[in-house]
């Protein structure tokens, strides 16, 4: 059974980014429950941003799960990257992610490596960057084992990373690390719309490695407001036996409430 989730951002520096609810966690939890969501996905400034007791209380009050926690604040606030040319910065990046793994882990939620993967460039060759990325994923996947949760790695479109853009390459990376590395893939339907031959083929290429889905339309607006043909994608997700979250990571377009409502309508149509 694929479950529904909606993103909540508390990161001021990410304003305008693809998150449905903003700023007010308590209000977002109330609204998510009101629409029938199973979970929220939290994008927070860091592991100390929301008191764990407060989050636990809100989740319990509204009968919600924590689907996953983002780690991108390490990049957007602190400029950290797991593939930086500086060893000390790579170490700080890993430290930031480990704190987020520890935070989410207590709620049974995985941490997501998206923009924290960084990119290769003048100081770091493509081979070096891939080496750093693999080392980091192995270390962080190992760290996540303490919570019996996998680490989620997200291939991004070419404008956000030059490391891994397609599900097939992500699957090859996971394959090279092995099952024991405890790393799964995030299939973000927006990035895939840019990079894959067809999004459904991308889902099949990711196959058993896909552990999380960002459920969004072609233009990063809520499901139903772009040109994505969801039928074949949903078919492919069923074929690979996916049973994680369909998490609304979309622009708050036309506003947060409508984006959340439209995504739930799409979720019920495609997975209900
Ligand atoms: C970034 O574009 C993205 O899709 C997020 O899920 C990662 O931080
Ligand atoms: Mn995403």
CB atoms within 10 A of CB 133: 22
Report yes or no: 222 and 262 within 8 Å, Cβ to Cβ. Answer: yes
| Cα–Cα distance for residue pair 69/38, rounded to 1 Å | 15
In tens, the pLDDT along 157-196 reads: 999 999 999 999 999 999 999 999 999 999 999 999 999 9
pLDDT digits (tens, 9 = 90+) for 58-107: 999 999 999 999 999 999 999 999 999 999 999 999 999 999 999 999 99
Q: How far is the CA of 154 from the centre of ligand 1 (A)?
A: 7
Pick the CATH number of 3-271 from 3.20.20.150, 3.20.20.330, 3.90.550.10, 3.40.50.1820: 3.20.20.150
Ligand 2 centroid – CA 127 distance (Å) = 24
Ligand that comes closest to the CA of residue 213: 2
What is the value of pTM for the model shown? 0.98
Give 3's DSSP letter: E
Q: What is the mean pLDDT of the chain?
A: 98
- pLDDT score for 217: 99
Q: Among the atoms of ligand 1, which is closest to the Cα of residue 114?
A: 7
Residue matched to tokens 């377009």:
253
Q: What is the pLDDT of residues 133-158, one digit of tens each?
A: 999 999 999 999 999 999 999 999 99
How large is the average pLDDT for residues 239-255?
98
What sign does the dihedral 41-46-51-52 (CA atoms) show? positive
Share of the chain above pLDDT 70, in %: 100
| H/E segment holding residue 25 | helix 25-35
- pLDDT confidence band for 13 (50 / 70 / 90): very high
Which residues are close to ligand 2, an ion, with C-beta < 5 A? 188, 214, 249
Q: Which residues line ligand 1 (CB under 6 A)?
A: 70, 72, 114-115, 154, 156, 160, 188, 214, 249
Q: What distance in Å separates the CA atoms of residue 31 and residue 104, rounded to the nearest whole number? A: 21
Identify the nearest ligand to the CA of 187 by its number: 2
């Amino acid at each position: 059974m694929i479950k529904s989730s909606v993103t909540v951002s508390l990161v001021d520096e990410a304003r305008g980014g693809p998150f449905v609810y903003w700023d007010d966690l308590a209000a977002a939890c109330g609204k998510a429950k009101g629409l029938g969501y199973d979970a929220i996905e939290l994008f927070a400034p860091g592991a100390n941003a929301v008191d764990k007791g407060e989050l636990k209380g809100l989740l319990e009050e509204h009968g919600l799960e924590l689907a996953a926690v983002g780690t991108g604040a390490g990049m957007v606030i602190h400029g950290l990257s797991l593939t930086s040319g500086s060893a000390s910065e790579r170490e700080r990046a890993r430290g930031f992610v480990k704190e987020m793994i520890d935070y989410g882990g207590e709620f049974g939620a995985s941490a997501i490596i998206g923009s924290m993967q960084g990119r290769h460039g003048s100081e770091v060759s493509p081979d070096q960057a891939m080496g750093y990325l693999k080392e980091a994923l192995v270390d962080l996947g190992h760290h996540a084992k303490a919570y019996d949760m996998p680490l989620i790695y997200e291939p991004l479109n070419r404008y956000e990373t030059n490391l891994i853009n397609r599900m097939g390459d992500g699957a090859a990376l996971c394959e090279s690390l092995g099952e024991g590395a405890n790393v799964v893939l995030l299939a973000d339907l927006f990035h895939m719309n840019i990079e894959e031959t067809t999004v459904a083929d991308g889902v099949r290429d990711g196959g058993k490695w896909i552990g999380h889905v960002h459920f969004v339309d072609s233009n990063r607006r809520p499901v139903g407001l772009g040109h994505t043909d969801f039928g074949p994608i949903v078919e492919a997700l069923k074929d690979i036996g996916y049973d994680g979250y369909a998490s609304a990571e979309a622009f708050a377009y036309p506003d947060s409430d409508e984006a959340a409502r439209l995504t739930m309508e799409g979720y019920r149509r495609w997975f209900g």
